[in-house]
Protein backbone atom coordinates (compact mmCIF):
# COMPACT_ATOMS: atom_id res chain seq x y z
CA UNK A 1 0.00 0.00 0.00
CA UNK A 2 1.39 3.37 -1.01
CA UNK A 3 1.53 6.22 1.47
CA UNK A 4 -0.74 9.15 0.92
CA UNK A 5 0.98 12.01 -0.96
CA UNK A 6 0.06 14.24 1.97
CA UNK A 7 2.07 12.12 4.40
CA UNK A 8 5.59 13.33 5.04
CA UNK A 9 8.81 11.41 5.65
CA UNK A 10 9.72 11.88 9.35
CA UNK A 11 13.39 12.15 8.36
CA UNK A 12 12.77 15.06 5.99
CA UNK A 13 12.27 18.64 7.21
CA UNK A 14 8.71 19.89 6.97
CA UNK A 15 8.89 22.94 4.74
CA UNK A 16 5.19 23.54 4.37
CA UNK A 17 5.26 26.75 6.40
CA UNK A 18 8.16 28.31 4.50
CA UNK A 19 5.94 29.89 1.86
CA UNK A 20 3.36 31.45 4.28
CA UNK A 21 6.00 32.76 6.67
CA UNK A 22 8.20 33.99 3.83
CA UNK A 23 5.27 35.79 2.23
CA UNK A 24 4.39 37.50 5.51
CA UNK A 25 8.01 38.60 6.04
CA UNK A 26 8.48 39.94 2.51
CA UNK A 27 5.17 41.82 2.53
CA UNK A 28 5.85 43.37 5.95
CA UNK A 29 9.28 44.44 4.73
CA UNK A 30 8.11 45.90 1.42
CA UNK A 31 4.96 47.80 2.41
CA UNK A 32 6.62 49.97 5.07
CA UNK A 33 6.26 53.59 4.07
CA UNK A 34 3.85 52.87 1.19
CA UNK A 35 0.50 54.72 0.99
CA UNK A 36 -2.19 53.13 3.14
CA UNK A 37 -4.90 52.99 0.47
CA UNK A 38 -3.14 50.83 -2.16
CA UNK A 39 -1.75 48.48 0.50
CA UNK A 40 -5.16 47.89 2.06
CA UNK A 41 -6.69 47.34 -1.39
CA UNK A 42 -4.01 44.77 -2.16
CA UNK A 43 -4.68 43.04 1.17
CA UNK A 44 -8.39 42.81 0.37
CA UNK A 45 -7.64 41.38 -3.08
CA UNK A 46 -5.42 38.73 -1.48
CA UNK A 47 -8.25 37.79 0.87
CA UNK A 48 -10.67 37.51 -2.05
CA UNK A 49 -8.21 35.35 -3.98
CA UNK A 50 -7.73 33.09 -0.94
CA UNK A 51 -11.50 32.69 -0.65
CA UNK A 52 -11.78 31.81 -4.36
CA UNK A 53 -9.11 29.12 -4.07
CA UNK A 54 -10.63 27.70 -0.87
CA UNK A 55 -14.12 27.46 -2.41
CA UNK A 56 -13.11 25.46 -5.50
CA UNK A 57 -13.99 21.83 -4.63
CA UNK A 58 -12.31 20.41 -7.72
CA UNK A 59 -8.99 21.97 -6.78
CA UNK A 60 -9.29 20.86 -3.19
CA UNK A 61 -10.00 17.25 -4.14
CA UNK A 62 -7.13 16.88 -6.60
CA UNK A 63 -4.44 18.95 -4.92
CA UNK A 64 -5.63 19.48 -1.39
CA UNK A 65 -2.18 20.14 0.11
CA UNK A 66 -1.14 22.56 -2.62
CA UNK A 67 -4.41 24.46 -2.34
CA UNK A 68 -4.06 24.70 1.44
CA UNK A 69 -0.54 26.10 1.08
CA UNK A 70 -1.73 28.67 -1.44
CA UNK A 71 -4.59 29.75 0.83
CA UNK A 72 -2.28 29.96 3.87
CA UNK A 73 0.27 32.00 1.91
CA UNK A 74 -2.35 34.45 0.68
CA UNK A 75 -3.86 34.83 4.14
CA UNK A 76 -0.46 35.44 5.78
CA UNK A 77 0.50 37.99 3.14
CA UNK A 78 -2.80 39.81 3.60
CA UNK A 79 -2.51 39.79 7.39
CA UNK A 80 1.05 41.12 7.24
CA UNK A 81 0.01 43.94 4.91
CA UNK A 82 -2.90 44.96 7.15
CA UNK A 83 -0.86 44.79 10.38
CA UNK A 84 2.14 46.67 8.99
CA UNK A 85 0.02 49.34 7.36
CA UNK A 86 -2.04 49.75 10.51
CA UNK A 87 1.07 50.40 12.58
CA UNK A 88 2.53 52.73 9.96
CA UNK A 89 -0.75 54.60 9.66
CA UNK A 90 -0.98 55.04 13.42
CA UNK A 91 2.54 56.51 13.49
CA UNK A 92 1.80 58.83 10.58
CA UNK A 93 -1.44 60.16 12.09
CA UNK A 94 -1.75 62.96 14.59
CA UNK A 95 0.02 66.31 14.75
CA UNK A 96 3.63 65.14 15.14
CA UNK A 97 4.43 64.37 11.45
CA UNK A 98 3.08 67.76 10.30
CA UNK A 99 5.07 69.57 12.98
CA UNK A 100 8.17 67.57 12.05
CA UNK A 101 7.79 68.58 8.41
CA UNK A 102 8.01 72.20 9.58
CA UNK A 103 10.88 71.36 11.98
CA UNK A 104 8.89 72.92 14.81
CA UNK A 105 10.19 73.34 18.35
CA UNK A 106 7.74 71.78 20.83
CA UNK A 107 7.51 70.63 24.43
CA UNK A 108 6.98 66.92 24.98
CA UNK A 109 6.08 64.79 27.95
CA UNK A 110 7.48 61.34 27.37
CA UNK A 111 7.79 57.90 28.88
CA UNK A 112 11.23 56.36 28.36
CA UNK A 113 10.84 52.93 26.75
CA UNK A 114 14.46 51.78 26.44
CA UNK A 115 17.84 52.47 28.02
CA UNK A 116 19.45 55.65 26.67
CA UNK A 117 22.62 54.73 24.84
CA UNK A 118 25.37 56.36 22.74
CA UNK A 119 24.78 56.50 19.02
CA UNK A 120 26.93 54.35 16.76
CA UNK A 121 28.01 57.57 15.02
CA UNK A 122 29.08 59.29 18.24
CA UNK A 123 32.31 61.23 18.34
CA UNK A 124 34.81 60.85 21.17
CA UNK A 125 34.44 63.25 24.07
CA UNK A 126 30.72 64.05 24.04
CA UNK A 127 28.73 61.17 22.54
CA UNK A 128 25.35 61.68 20.93
CA UNK A 129 22.73 59.78 22.89
CA UNK A 130 19.80 57.89 21.42
CA UNK A 131 16.66 57.60 23.56
CA UNK A 132 13.55 55.69 22.59
CA UNK A 133 10.39 57.03 24.18
CA UNK A 134 6.63 57.30 23.88
CA UNK A 135 5.24 60.81 23.53
CA UNK A 136 2.14 61.25 25.69
CA UNK A 137 1.62 65.02 25.86
CA UNK A 138 2.47 67.64 23.24
CA UNK A 139 2.57 71.41 23.71
CA UNK A 140 2.92 73.14 20.36
CA UNK A 141 1.71 76.45 18.95
CA UNK A 142 -0.46 77.15 21.97
CA UNK A 143 -2.24 73.78 21.84
CA UNK A 144 -1.89 70.81 24.19
CA UNK A 145 -2.56 67.37 22.69
CA UNK A 146 -2.57 63.94 24.31
CA UNK A 147 -0.70 61.29 22.34
CA UNK A 148 0.58 57.76 22.53
CA UNK A 149 3.20 57.84 19.80
CA UNK A 150 6.70 56.32 19.59
CA UNK A 151 9.49 58.85 19.01
CA UNK A 152 13.27 58.77 18.83
CA UNK A 153 15.14 61.40 20.82
CA UNK A 154 18.70 62.57 20.14
CA UNK A 155 20.70 64.53 22.70
CA UNK A 156 24.31 65.33 23.58
CA UNK A 157 23.38 66.06 27.20
CA UNK A 158 24.70 63.26 29.39
CA UNK A 159 21.91 63.78 31.93
CA UNK A 160 19.75 61.48 29.80
CA UNK A 161 22.05 58.54 30.60
CA UNK A 162 20.76 58.42 34.18
CA UNK A 163 17.19 57.71 33.06
CA UNK A 164 15.58 54.28 33.16
CA UNK A 165 12.71 52.83 31.14
CA UNK A 166 9.25 53.72 32.53
CA UNK A 167 10.37 57.16 33.76
CA UNK A 168 8.25 60.13 32.70
CA UNK A 169 10.16 63.22 31.60
CA UNK A 170 9.55 66.61 30.00
CA UNK A 171 11.76 68.27 27.42
CA UNK A 172 11.83 70.88 24.68
CA UNK A 173 12.80 69.45 21.30
CA UNK A 174 13.01 70.27 17.63
CA UNK A 175 11.13 67.73 15.50
CA UNK A 176 12.33 66.35 12.17
CA UNK A 177 10.66 63.69 10.00
CA UNK A 178 11.57 60.05 10.50
CA UNK A 179 12.86 57.99 7.59
CA UNK A 180 10.24 56.04 5.60
CA UNK A 181 9.68 52.66 7.24
CA UNK A 182 11.05 53.73 10.63
CA UNK A 183 9.24 52.39 13.68
CA UNK A 184 8.88 55.88 15.15
CA UNK A 185 6.69 58.81 14.11
CA UNK A 186 9.36 61.52 14.32
CA UNK A 187 12.92 62.16 15.42
CA UNK A 188 13.26 64.80 18.15
CA UNK A 189 16.45 66.71 18.93
CA UNK A 190 16.17 67.34 22.67
CA UNK A 191 17.38 70.62 24.13
CA UNK A 192 19.23 70.47 27.42
CA UNK A 193 18.61 68.23 30.39
CA UNK A 194 15.27 66.46 30.77
CA UNK A 195 12.89 67.46 33.54
CA UNK A 196 12.14 64.26 35.43
CA UNK A 197 8.44 63.96 36.32
CA UNK A 198 8.34 60.49 37.90
CA UNK A 199 10.72 57.78 39.14
CA UNK A 200 11.10 54.45 37.34
CA UNK A 201 8.91 51.51 38.23
CA UNK A 202 10.10 49.03 40.86
CA UNK A 203 10.92 46.42 38.23
CA UNK A 204 12.98 48.88 36.22
CA UNK A 205 14.80 50.06 39.35
CA UNK A 206 15.83 46.48 40.11
CA UNK A 207 16.87 45.89 36.50
CA UNK A 208 18.85 49.14 36.47
CA UNK A 209 20.60 48.16 39.70
CA UNK A 210 21.59 44.79 38.23
CA UNK A 211 22.93 46.42 35.05
CA UNK A 212 24.91 48.94 37.09
CA UNK A 213 26.38 46.11 39.17
CA UNK A 214 27.45 44.25 36.03
CA UNK A 215 29.09 47.39 34.61
CA UNK A 216 30.99 47.84 37.87
CA UNK A 217 32.08 44.19 37.88
CA UNK A 218 33.60 44.40 34.38
CA UNK A 219 35.58 47.58 35.08
CA UNK A 220 38.70 45.42 35.50
CA UNK A 221 38.51 44.36 31.84
CA UNK A 222 39.93 46.30 28.88
CA UNK A 223 37.59 48.93 27.44
CA UNK A 224 36.45 46.84 24.48
CA UNK A 225 35.58 43.79 26.58
CA UNK A 226 34.08 45.89 29.39
CA UNK A 227 31.71 47.47 26.91
CA UNK A 228 30.85 44.25 25.11
CA UNK A 229 30.15 41.86 28.01
CA UNK A 230 27.10 43.77 29.43
CA UNK A 231 25.72 43.94 25.89
CA UNK A 232 25.99 40.19 25.42
CA UNK A 233 24.52 39.40 28.85
CA UNK A 234 21.71 41.93 29.34
CA UNK A 235 21.70 44.03 26.16
CA UNK A 236 23.35 47.02 27.89
CA UNK A 237 25.34 48.71 25.10
CA UNK A 238 25.86 52.07 26.80
CA UNK A 239 29.64 51.47 27.01
CA UNK A 240 30.07 49.63 23.73
CA UNK A 241 32.94 51.19 21.78
CA UNK A 242 31.98 52.62 18.35
CA UNK A 243 34.57 50.40 16.64
CA UNK A 244 33.20 47.29 18.35
CA UNK A 245 29.66 48.28 17.36
CA UNK A 246 30.76 48.77 13.76
CA UNK A 247 32.60 45.43 13.74
CA UNK A 248 29.46 43.63 14.93
CA UNK A 249 27.40 45.38 12.26
CA UNK A 250 29.90 44.42 9.56
CA UNK A 251 29.76 40.70 10.39
CA UNK A 252 25.98 40.71 11.02
CA UNK A 253 26.10 39.93 14.74
CA UNK A 254 24.33 42.98 16.19
CA UNK A 255 21.47 40.70 17.32
CA UNK A 256 23.78 39.29 20.00
CA UNK A 257 23.59 42.60 21.90
CA UNK A 258 19.84 43.05 21.39
CA UNK A 259 18.59 40.79 24.16
CA UNK A 260 17.41 43.59 26.49
- pLDDT tens readout for residues 15-44: 777 888 888 888 877 776 677 778 778 888
Q: pLDDT at position 12, please?
A: 66
pLDDT (mean) for 213-223: 79
Going from the C-alpha of 10 to that of each of 3, 7, 14, 86, the distances in angstroms are 13, 9, 8, 40
Q: pLDDT at position 122, please?
A: 54
Element (H, E) at 151: strand 143-155
Instruction: Classify the C-alpha dihedral 115-166-29-91 as positive or negative.
Output: negative
Nearest to 249 by CA among 122, 120, 153: 120
pLDDT tops 90 at residue 112: yes
pLDDT in tens, 62-95: 567 777 788 888 888 888 888 777 666 656 667 8
pLDDT tops 90 at residue 226: no
Instruction: Classify the C-alpha dihedral 150-152-157-162 as positive or negative.
Output: positive
Q: pLDDT at position 33, please?
A: 65
pLDDT in tens, 145-164: 898 888 999 998 888 888 88
pLDDT tops 50 at residue 6: no
pLDDT (mean) for 219-244: 75
Amino acid sequence: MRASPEQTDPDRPDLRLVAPSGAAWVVAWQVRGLPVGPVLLSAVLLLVLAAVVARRPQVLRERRLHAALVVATLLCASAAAIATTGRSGARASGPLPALAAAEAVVTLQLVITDDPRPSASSRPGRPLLVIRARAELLDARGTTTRLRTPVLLLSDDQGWLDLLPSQRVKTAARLVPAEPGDDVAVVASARGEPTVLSPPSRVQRVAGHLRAGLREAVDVLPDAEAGLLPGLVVGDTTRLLPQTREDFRTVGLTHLTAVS
